[in-house]
Structure formats: structure tokens, C-alpha cells
Chains A and B, each alone.
Chain A
Amino acid sequence: MLRVEGLHKSFDDFKAVSDVHLTVEAGQMVAVIGPNGAGKTTLFNLITGQLKPDMGRIIFNDEEIDRLPPYEICRRGIARSFQIANIFPRLTVFRNVQVSVLSQQRKSTRLFRPARKMAVEETRSILEKVGLSDKADTLAGSLAHGDQRTLEIAIALGNNPQLLVLDEPTAGMSAEETGTTMTLIRRLADEQGLTILFCEHDMEVVFKAAQSIMVMHQGVTILQAGPEVVHNSRQVQECYLGGA
């Protein structure tokens, strides 16, 4: 479904991503791991178009998407969440998701119909799914941190994506919230057949959830394999122990 081949990106002299390879099959849950500064977020920003690569190719459903602007990539079926809660703070929770659903339905530029009548069912069902229904009328900016992160995922779901890219979905969460969020993500994968690409610090979380793990170190792909292979790989252990 998604193939990343030989991707490079530098900022001035710093090579954030150099020679990254990644394959995501439909229906899979794929994790990207690596120490701080390995280039995980840069990789995600390249995939969803926030950044443009210097070299390499990103292919989604047989189409090269690495030159497209973010909104075009989203329209092709890749939605994402951000590491820092990236929501619409002055809008209600309902509106946050509705705007995303309206965009997916290509109704964002409708001028002469009240928005309150549109995309209501879809928005309600997403809020229900992620468990934010009772907070629908709250202003998003006044939500607790954990809820804002959940809303972040709900906004991404509004786009009805094939591939969901989650940049550290449990960053800054308590152990309990982390558990709830991972259960939610796994449920989305199971029930809706969503393909999920995520990165995560918590190794326990990663090895429990992912079917395939890509290990990055200093911007380079070390390997991509199943959890057991990765777990036992000497190469991976070395890079985590600082031996590389």
C-alpha cells in the first residue's frame, strides 16, 4: 500500500533522514522506532507532505505522492495525527471533527447551507467511536491533554482514510491513558480494517501492537521486520545501547 524508497532529507547540513526504506501492507499495523532524533517525525512529515524530500520516492497505491501538497495527499487517503496536540482550540469538539468530515465530502467551500445540518451523522459516530460524545459541545482548547490527543485521532478519522499515520499517539500520556489509546487504535484497525503507521517511544506498547517494525537510527533504516526478529536483532540492540 505504501512504499518508501531511499528517502533523503537534510536541513542545512544536518541529515535528518538519509536512506530510509519502509513498506506498509494493507491492513497492517506498522511501527517506526528509534532513539530520539532518529528522524521519525521527519519521515512522517515527508510522507504526509508537510516536508518535501531531497531524494527518494514515496509511493501510495501505485502513485508517487512525494511532490504533492499535504491536502492532496490527504485526499488520496492518508490522514495523520501530530506529536503535539494539533487541534482547533476555539472550535467545539464537534466542529473540530465536522470540519474534517466536510473536507472529506468536498463540502468545505459550500457557502449557502448551514453547516449544522451537514455531516452530522458521520461526526456523531466518530465521536462515539473514540468516546468523546459527551464532550461534543466543549471548546477543544479547554479539553484535558489526553482528550485533546484523542480528538486529534478523531479529526484524522473524519477524513475516512485508508492509511492512518500517528506520530507518537501516546506522547505525554499517563500509563492508563496510554492503555486506553492503544486499545482504541487497535480496535480501529480491527473493526474498520484501517492500516496504521505509527511511531512510539514505549517499546512495550510497540511490541504488543505492531505486526511489523521499522528501526531507524540517525536517519537511516536499520531494518524492517516482525517483532520477534527485531527483538532479537543484535544490530538493533547495539544502536539502542549507543554502540553503533
Chain B
Amino acid sequence: MSKGIFNLKTFGLAAAILIALAFLPPVLPRFYVYILAVIFVTALLAMSLNMVVGHGGLFQFHHGAFYGVGAYTAGLMMTKTSLPGWMGLVAGPFAAALVGLLIGIFCIRLTRLYFGMLQISLGSLIWAIAFRWYSFTGGDDGIHGIPLPSLISSPIGAYYFCLILLAICLFVLYFIFKSPFGATLQAIRDNPERCEAIGINVRRHQLIAIVIATFFAGIAGVLFVVVEGSVFPDLLFWVFSLEVFIMCLLGGWFTFAGPIFGAAIMVSLRTFVGAYTEYWTLILGIMLIFLIFFLPEGVWGYLLEKMGNQKQNLHKETK
């Protein structure tokens, strides 16, 4: 408890990885640069979800909706208006947070699974709009060839843009994780009833968490546009939200950095196993079974435990 907010070892490790990633593009084939950028985007999305799921204990089942809103806002502003492209990138996260707030106000009245069910329904409404409104959103075709600002329109430019934003976002998320707000959020996850009894307005706290998380999901959505140059309704489909949820479980949802690993595993599986067979989810299913039996704390959670690091507040079984 008395140690600094940034454990020197973790901080050094994170810095080393970031620097290594910064030097990769010139030596790596283009395809791998692209895959890494996709992992950055997905990792940020999973991190934002984990803030409410792993640290907040909310059943945020349709996080993809907010990711999609961020992406579509950016995509639509860059194709349908003559405003500078940067404005679309800035507007995306705010639009996502606004939708997060509106949906959150309704969902927060329900608890646990009911919260998740209502969120899936409301989020699916947004999906339906994106999927059906051909004249505006392009329907199931989506929007392609979105003109990006020249600085980030090349794959290398997109890579660095995503890396820098991911680094900044991780820093901010870590700060929130360690703040009184983050501590209280984790207490709410552990025991909402007790939190009410020590003077915490649980619903308001959860709503703030949702708005923050959806804001970061919006950033991830914007980065998706930067990497792919297109948007399509699949981003908002609830099945994709489930995938992101699994990333959190896979990596370790009670840890801070776990979802990054979960995202890397999922994206790699989809890309590399998916190249051989369309049944790559079969492999994922088998991995999940092993996870439940052998690594209930997730991959990163397991590693942390092995390293004897208790700082991440790992849950220990008490028998």
C-alpha cells in the first residue's frame, strides 16, 4: 500500500514494451504492422470494458454498441460533412459517451443480469439503425474509403497514431484505476450493499463509470476507422460485444492489464487460425474450457499470481 502508484518494475516493463513497439514497423512486414494496430485498437476496447466489468462488477453486455457509435460518428462526419477530418476523430468518443449516458440512465435502474439484458436490447436498436438506414449509414455495406487526414492515412501513420493513443489511454485508465473513484468502484463490485451502507451513492458511481468506459470505447472506435478506413454494422452487433467480454475473462478481469493479453490472444486466433479454418471459434471454445478449469483468474491473473504479486488485488479463494 505504501508503494508508489507506479511500481518501478511494471513501469519499466511497460516503457520497454512501448519503445520496442515504436521501433517495429520498419523491420516488420506490413501485414504484421496492420495486425498489431488491430490489437492496439481491440486492447483499448477491452480495457475500457473491463473498467465496468472487472473493476465495476456491471454486466456490460453490449459494449460494442458504444465502440460502433464512436466509429460511425467519425466515419459519418468524415464522409458526410466538409468539416476537417480531425473533428470527426474528436467527436467520436463524445458521441459514444453521450449514448453511454443515455442508455446507462435506463439500465442502471436494473441490476446484474437484467442490466445486461436491457443493454443488449437498447444497443441492438442502434445496431438496427446502422444496419437498415441505407441512405445514411450505408446499411449492411457500411461506409468504405473514409478519407483520413493525410498524417494518419498510411498504415505506418495509423500504427503510430494507435500506439500513441493507446499509451495515453492506458495511462489515464491506470490513473483512474488507482484513484479514489477506482477504489470505490472495486468496492462496489465486491459488495454494493455494503457500499450503500458506508455512504456511497452506488448508482451514480456506476453511471459515471459507464460514461468514462463508453468514452474510451468511442476512442477505440475512432481508432478502428483510422486503421481500417471503413465502418460496418458488425461492430455494433451483440455477438462482437460478447467477444470483447471474453477477452476480459481470458486475460484476467480482476487485473488491470489482463484485457490487453485477452485482446492479443483473440485477434491472433481470429487472424492466424481463422486463415486455416472458419471454425476458429472451436479453438476458442476449447481454450475457454481450459481457462475455467485451470486459470479462473485469466492468463495475466495467473502470471501475476505466479510472480507473487498481490498488488493487483487478486481474488483468492477463501475456504
> Does A74 contact B198, Cβ atoms closer than 8 Å?
yes
Residue on A nearest B212 in the bound complex, by CB: A111
> Does A91 contact B196, Cβ atoms closer than 8 Å?
no
> Does A94 contact B1, Cβ atoms closer than 8 Å?
yes
- Closest Cβ–Cβ distance, residue B194 to chain A (whole Å): 5
- Closest Cβ–Cβ distance, residue A50 to chain B (whole Å): 7
Query: Are A99 and B187 CB-contacts (below 8 A) given A88-B194, A110-B180?
Result: yes
> Does A99 contact B313, Cβ atoms closer than 8 Å?
no
> Does A112 contact B194, Cβ atoms closer than 8 Å?
no
- Closest Cβ–Cβ distance, residue B3 to chain A (whole Å): 8
Q: What separation, in Å, do the CA atoms of A71 and B203 have in the docked complex? A: 11
> Does B318 contact A103, Cβ atoms closer than 8 Å?
no
Tell whether B87 is near chain A: CB-to-CB under 8 Å. Answer: no
Tell whether A1 is near chain B: CB-to-CB under 8 Å. Answer: no
Residue of B181, B189, B208, B313 contacting most chain A CB atoms (<10 Å): B181
Tell whether B168 is near chain A: CB-to-CB under 8 Å. Answer: no
Query: Are A113 and B180 CB-contacts (below 8 A) given A88-B187, A88-B190?
Result: yes
Residue of B180, B313, B315 contacting most chain A CB atoms (<10 Å): B180
Query: Are A92 and B180 CB-contacts (below 8 A) given A99-B187, A116-B5?
Result: no
> Does A158 contact B190, Cβ atoms closer than 8 Å?
no
Q: Interface residue count for A (Cβ, 8 Å)?
A: 47
Q: Which residues of B contact A69 (CB under 8 A)?
A: 196, 201
Query: Are A92 and B190 CB-contacts (below 8 A) given A70-B197, A110-B181?
Result: no
Tell whether B306 is near chain A: CB-to-CB under 8 Å. Answer: no
- Closest Cβ–Cβ distance, residue B226 to chain A (whole Å): 27
Residue on B nearest A139 in the bound complex, by CB: B316
Q: Which of A91-114 contact B (CB under 8 A)?
A: 91-92, 94-96, 98-100, 102-104, 107-114
Q: Which A residues are within 8 Å of any B CB, using their own CB? A: 48-50, 69-71, 74-75, 79-80, 82, 86-92, 94-96, 98-100, 102-104, 107-116, 118, 136-137, 139, 141-142, 155-156, 158-159
Q: Which B residues are within 8 Å of any A CB, using their own CB? A: 1-5, 175-176, 178-184, 186-187, 189-191, 193-202, 205, 208, 254, 310, 313-316, 318
- Give 24 A-B contacts (CB < 8 Å), ordered by A residue: A48-B197, A70-B196, A71-B200, A71-B201, A82-B197, A86-B191, A86-B193, A88-B190, A90-B189, A90-B254, A90-B315, A91-B183, A95-B186, A95-B313, A99-B187, A99-B195, A99-B200, A109-B181, A113-B180, A115-B182, A141-B315, A142-B316, A155-B198, A159-B198
